[in-house]
Amino acid sequence: MTPNVKIRNVAGLNIPEHNYIAFTYYGATNNAQTVTYREGGATGTIVASVAFTYVTQPPTADNTPLATVIRS
C-alpha cells in the first residue's frame, strides 16, 4: 500500500520525491552531519541532500546548537 502523501515546499527546502533516506552523524553524538534523499533505494540516484553545521564544529557533545542548514 502506497501512502497518499503530498510533497510540500517548506521554507525553500524542497525535497523531491524519494524512497530512501540515509543519515550520517558526527562521531558518537546525536548531531546529524548529512541527510541524503535517494530515488531507487540505497544505491539509487541522489535527489537532494541536507548538510548541517553547528556552533561548535565539529560537535563533540550531544544536542549542540545548529549554526546552518544547507540543502543541495
Q: Dump strand ranges (E) for 1-72.
A: 20-25, 32-39, 45-54, 66-71
In the chain, where the domains are located: 26-65
Backbone angles phi, psi at 49, to 5 degrees: -145, 150
For the segment 23-57, what is each residue's pLDDT rounded down to a tens digit?
999 999 999 999 999 999 999 999 999 999 999 99
Residue 6 CB contacts under 8 Å (≥ 6 apart), including other chains: none
**pTM above 0.95?**
no
pLDDT of residue 15: 86
With contact defined as beta carbons under 8 Å apart, do 35 and 50 qualify?
yes
- pLDDT score at 8: 58
14: confidence class by pLDDT, cuts 50, 70, 90:
confident
